[in-house]
Amino acid sequence: METIINKYRFIIYTITKSYRKEGIMNISSLVYFVEIVNCDFNLTKAAQKSHISQPALSSYIKTIEKDEGVVLFHRQKGRLVGLTSVGERFFENAKVVISSHEQLMADLRNESKKYKGEVTIGIPQLISGIVFSELIPKLIEENPDVKFNIIETGAYELQRKLFVKDVDFGILLTPTTLDPNMADIEVLLRDQLCLYMGEKTFRDKFHGNRYIGIKDLHRESLVTFDSTFMINHQLDTLFKKERISPKIKYYSASWDFLLNSTRYSSYLTILPRPITHFANMNGLVEIQLVERPKWEVVLASLKSDKTSHLKTYIKNSILDYFSNQRF
């Protein structure tokens, strides 16, 4: 099995090494690019099918062309109309890489039937239903001889559980307090925190102005997560940095409860942007804060922990799943 994995990883590395820069080129990036071509260069349609915003997709194109020093698309009056010769070669290579990755994952799934044992994964309640509702059932179904223990609690509490070895893997939110010398930390998902409120609140309090920063939240009524959630501590740091004191009306462990609270009141809340893919946004307004506070999901495991073949397989399965997802 190791030979098969190395074979496909070598294919992926060989084809992409001429283009890749850290944080830019991965399977998701290739899927975005291929989607644009398959949608006849219609960015709006490609963004909808990729479940990202059109500005984010447009920014991705400009970034990769700038960083790699290439022009992938022909343009007319700012619109994409076709591929350059470089873009055509990149398109063909991208399809090969995506196909190789899919074959790699198929081989892993077939091999997974041989694993036995027990593994404990800690997942924050905030994201268990957002980004793990597909992966976890699939892992359980494909590994009938493996006992999976899933612990749901806030990311802040999960750090402690990882440290005392109550969990083998912790799905955490940055910033973490883990020592990089003691733990392996892999980024699974990068996005940002956004401000949410009802349409009436947006009109009455902010008069339709979308240029809102952390300072503008001074004395405003907020509903947010409790102290077991990393977002609670992240927001507290942001508020102290700007020397503001929002009125925290109440805490909750449920993102959909917090979001719905703003729909029926004048309260505000700050949540990760990916929740909008799963929420009913009717009557709500999303604001990208001026500071663009980042929201990162990471996979953490202790370096001191002896890594079995099962745990290596679980870790690779999680990393490969997220490398091919579009949230």
Query: pLDDT for 158-202, tens place per residue?
Result: 988 998 999 999 998 887 778 888 889 998 888 899 999 999 999
* Cα separation, 130 vs 278, whole angstroms: 7
Yes or no: say if 151 and 166 are a contact pair by the CB < 8 Å rule. yes
pLDDT digits over 40-75, tens only? 999 889 888 877 788 888 888 888 888 888 999 999
Q: Output the CATH code of domain 116-188+297-323.
A: 3.40.190.10
Yes or no: say if 294 and 190 are a contact pair by the CB < 8 Å rule. yes
Write out the DSSP string of 29-85: HHHHHHHHHHTTT-HHHHHHHHTS-HHHHHHHHHHHHHHHT---EEEETTEEEEE-H
* Cα separation, 308 vs 288, whole angstroms: 42
DSSP letter assigned to residue 274: G
> Tell me, what's the pLDDT at 25?
60
Tokens standing for residue 19: 């283009």
Domain ranges, ordered by start, for the chain:
2-111, 116-188+297-323, 190-295
Mean pLDDT of the chain: 84
* Cα separation, 123 vs 150, whole angstroms: 7
Fold adopted by 190-295:
D-Maltodextrin-Binding Protein; domain 2 (3.40.190)
Work out the percent of the chain whose per-residue pLDDT is above 70: 88
**Alpha helices (H) along the chain:** 2-16, 27-38, 43-50, 54-68, 85-112, 125-131, 135-142, 155-163, 199-206, 230-242, 255-263, 309-323
Greater pLDDT, 117 or 56: 117
Of the listed ranges 124-128, 168-172, 313-317, the least confidently predicted one is 124-128
Name the band, by pLDDT with cuts 50, 70 and 90, for residue 293: very high
Domain 2-111 belongs in CATH node 1.10.10.10? yes
CA angle 327, 278, 204 (to 5 degrees): 110
* Cα separation, 317 vs 135, whole angstroms: 9
Helix, strand, or coil (residue 113): coil
The answer to whether domain 116-188+297-323 and domain 190-295 are alike in fold is yes
Yes or no: say if 273 and 247 are a contact pair by the CB < 8 Å rule. no
